[in-house]
Structure 1
Amino acid sequence: METENVHNYYETALNGLLTRDERLEGKNQDFIEDVICLTLNQLPAFYVRFDVDTTFYMSEAEMLQIEEKLKKALDTAIAKVEANPD
C-alpha cells in the first residue's frame, strides 16, 4: 500500500514561508529543524492528499487564516529557538 500523497498541509505551506524568511538566512540546519518542529507542533494536524485540490476548495479568507496561523507559529518558534540556542 502506497500513501506517499498523504501529508500535513501545514508542512508544505511552512516550507514556502521558510524560503522567504530572512531571519533564517545563515542559520544552521539544527536551528532550522528546531524551528520547523516547534512551528508545526503549535498547529493542528491538517492532512491532505493534494495541496492543489485543498486550496481549490478553500475560500480566500480560509487561506489567509492559515497563513496568519503559520506566521504567528513561526514567529513564536524562532523566538523560542533564539532564546534557547542549545
Structure 2
Amino acid sequence: MKISDDIHNYYEKLVLDHFEELKVEENYDIDFIADLTCIVLNQLPTRYIRHEVDMAFYLPASERFEMESKVKVAVVKALDFMKTHPSA
C-alpha cells in the first residue's frame, strides 16, 4: 500500500533550507550530507503535511520560529557528532 507521494515531513524542508543558508553543499560531500540529514532529522519531531501552502497559511509565526530554532540546534549537534565520529 502506498499512502501518497504528496505527504512529507515539514521538518525536511526546514532542514534543507537551513543547509542552504549554511552552504552545506559547498563544504561537504553527498555522503556526509546524507548522514548529516539523517542525524538531524532523527533529533526532531515529525510534522507531516501534504501541501507547503497549508503550513505557510496556518502555522503561527511563533511556532515556525520554534521549529526553525529546533532545526538549528539539531544541525549544530549533528555536525559536532559527525566531526567527532568521522566513520559514522
Q: Does 1:17 align with 2:8?
A: no
Q: Which runs of 5+ in 1 are unaligned?
A: none
Q: Which runs of 5+ in 2 are unaligned?
A: none
Deviation at 1:26, TM superposition (A): 2.5
Deviation at 1:23, TM superposition (A): 5.6
Q: 1:60-75 maps to which residues of 2 (within 5 A)?
A: 60-75=61-76
Which runs of 4 or more aligned residues in structure 1 lie more than 2 Å from their structure 2 counterparts after TM superposition? 22-26
Q: Does 1:84 align with 2:85?
A: yes
The TM-score with structure 1 as length reference comes to: 0.90
Q: How many residues align?
A: 86
Correspondence for 1:34: 35
Deviation at 1:25, TM superposition (A): 2.7
CA RMSD of aligned residues (A): 1.5
Over the matched positions of the two proteins, sequence identity in percent amounts to 34
